[in-house]
Amino acid sequence: MIKVHHLENSRSQRILWMLEELHVAYEVKRYERHPKTQLAPESLKEVHPLGKSPLIEDSGRVFAESGAIIEYLGSTYGQGGLWPDYSSPDYRQVIYWLHYAEGSLMPPLLLAYVFNAVKKGPMPFFMRPVVGKVVAETKSRYIGPQIHTQLQFVASQLEGREWLVGDQLTAADIQMSFPLEAAMSQKDLAQAFPAIESYVRRFQQRPAYQRALTTGGPYAYDL
């Protein structure tokens, strides 16, 4: 049976969703973030040296990285459904979205999160105006425009479509779920990109997604 090392409010939620869509039996070991740093606990390093989640164990092997895990699950358990056949024109599109989610969309979102954390973090009071100005300038000149560029691209790819690839849910939608959920949890972005918000709400209503929420526990990005 597959074992999922699941960290709260993390990318591993989409792994639970994929397993539910595939109807593959699995068990979950839950981990909580450090209450102050919000980092993963050190105990995850006992499973993989980087101490990150998601991690899965299957057939005596440990798999890390969301895209690699989703590709493994899709090619092993989901061919013809969530994972198009290699000869299908949809195959390369799915692979593209697996890489795009973490390579292009997630970095500016993560930068925005880090800069917000820096602004709110402890520091001498006389430094706050300086740090606040640096954060605001960086977000307005670089991070914000980058986020909007990426989300505009995604919205254009969803125009007139229910799913990102083909006419049914694929691994591409599952991989893209976390960064889009994180983005749509911000009211200004949800208002600016209603097509993406509708897309997120649509996949969050799927029975398999709801089962994954029950299994994974409270999730900050459930709209």
Q: How far is CA 214 from the centre of its chain?
A: 18
pLDDT tens string 50-105: 999 999 999 999 999 999 999 999 999 987 789 999 899 899 999 999 999 999 99
According to DSSP, residue 142 is labeled: I
Predicted pLDDT of residue 120: 63
The domain 90-206 is classified under which CATH number: 1.20.1050.10, 3.40.50.2000, 2.30.30.90, 1.10.10.10? Answer: 1.20.1050.10
Question: Is the per-residue pLDDT at 115 higher than 90?
Answer: no
- Provide the residue ranges of all domains of the chain, joining segments of one domain with +: 2-84, 90-206
Q: Which residue, chain included where needed, has tokens 């994972």?
A: 83
CB 71 within 8 A of CB 101: no
pLDDT tens string 15-25: 999 999 999 99
Question: Is the per-residue pLDDT at 159 higher than 70?
Answer: yes
Beta bridge partners of 63: 56
pLDDT tens string 127-144: 556 445 655 666 667 888
Predicted pLDDT of residue 130: 46
**Among the listed residues 102, 106, 79, the one whose alpha carbon sits nearest the alpha carbon of residue 171:** 79
Predicted pLDDT of residue 215: 94
Q: What are the angstrom distances between the C-alpha of 145 and each of 61, 91, 138, 148?
A: 41, 31, 10, 5
Predicted pLDDT of residue 35: 83
Q: Is the pTM of this model over 0.75?
A: yes
Write b or e for each residue in 166-175: b if 16 or more Cβ atoms lie within 10 A of its Cβ, otherwise e: beebbbbbbb
Q: In the CATH scheme, what is the homologous superfamily, with its name and number, of domain 2-84?
A: Glutaredoxin (3.40.30.10)
Q: What is the DSSP string of 43-100?
A: GGGGTSTT--S-EEEETTEEEESHHHHHHHHHHHH-BTTTB--TTSTHHHHHHHHHHH
Question: Is the per-residue pLDDT at 162 higher than 90?
Answer: yes
Predicted pLDDT of residue 129: 60
pLDDT tens string 164-211: 998 999 999 999 999 999 999 999 999 999 999 999 999 999 999 999
The amino acid that residue 203 corresponds to is: F
Q: Can you give 157-199 as a three-state secondary structure string? A: HHCCCCCCCCCCCCHHHHHHHHHHHHHHCCHHHHHHCHHHHHH
Predicted pLDDT of residue 136: 61
